[in-house]
Amino acid sequence: MKLFVDTADVKELETCLERGFACGVTTNPMLIARANCTDFREHIRSMIDVLIKYDAKIPLSVEVNTTDPAKMAHQSEEFVHEFGDYPYLNIKIPIGWNELKVIAQLARRNVPVNCTCCMSYNQAVMAARAGARYVSLFWGRIRDVGYDAGSVVRQTRESLDKSGLDSEIIVGSIRHLVDVNEAIQAGGHIITVPPKFFPQMCAHPKTDEAVAQFMTEFRAWEQAVQASQIKRAA
Ligand code: E4P
């Protein structure tokens, strides 16, 4: 299981990269819009710069920002041209009938695609068959409409395993800490997580208790040793 960082915020990304656990990064147009930047291309470049700074060598998904499949194909070419010097670039294309053509075209040219906004088993499987390197299933949004996101992920994983396709499931739209564990249990190869959850994910009250106990007893031992040395010297 791999953890990706679901962000377009360069500072948030850096806090994760310096801790070494991130296996990839996913962005989308909404995250870019919320990232406090004024130039899309410059912003993606600054994300790539920080990935290079940490020698991260991990996938970065950049999503097209149009709903017209012809323009998606054109924009994908632009992204490859502009950011293709980062060898781990993925193009994120939303699932759809005409969008499948764009996915297949990119896949034929070995451009890795992250097929995004998948909400169902059928969508995910068709995307994988079309050649998507990643299929992104949106856990929180699937649950919003009353479906069992766990079943969708589980069935997709079973089909991918049986088919021998090497597409991996990215579970996104994580809303709660528990979603991460449930998505892993359901068979997500990758969970892309908003950075605000990571500190919580590596915290545990029993860890705090254990560390505090170790320190308390160590300090007490140090003081006892010091006291006995002073006594001996006197
Ligand atoms: C994943 O690739 C998406 O960027 C993201 O997880 C979508 O999450 P949301 O449903 O919270 O917008």
Per-residue pLDDT 10s for the chain (234 aa) are 899 999 999 999 999 999 999 999 999 999 999 999 999 999 999 999 999 999 999 999 999 999 999 999 999 999 999 999 999 999 999 999 999 999 999 999 999 999 999 999 999 999 999 999 999 999 999 999 999 999 999 999 999 999 999 999 999 999 999 999 999 999 999 999 999 999 999 999 999 999 999 999 999 999 999 999 999 998
H-only helix segments in 62-197:
69-83, 97-108, 121-130, 139-144, 149-163, 177-186
Pocket of ligand 1 from Cβ distances under 6 Å? 6, 26, 28, 116, 136, 138, 140-141, 172-173, 192
pTM: 0.95
CB neighbour class for 14 (10 Å; exposed up to 12, middle 13-18, buried from 19): middle
Atom of ligand 1 nearest to the CA of 30: 12
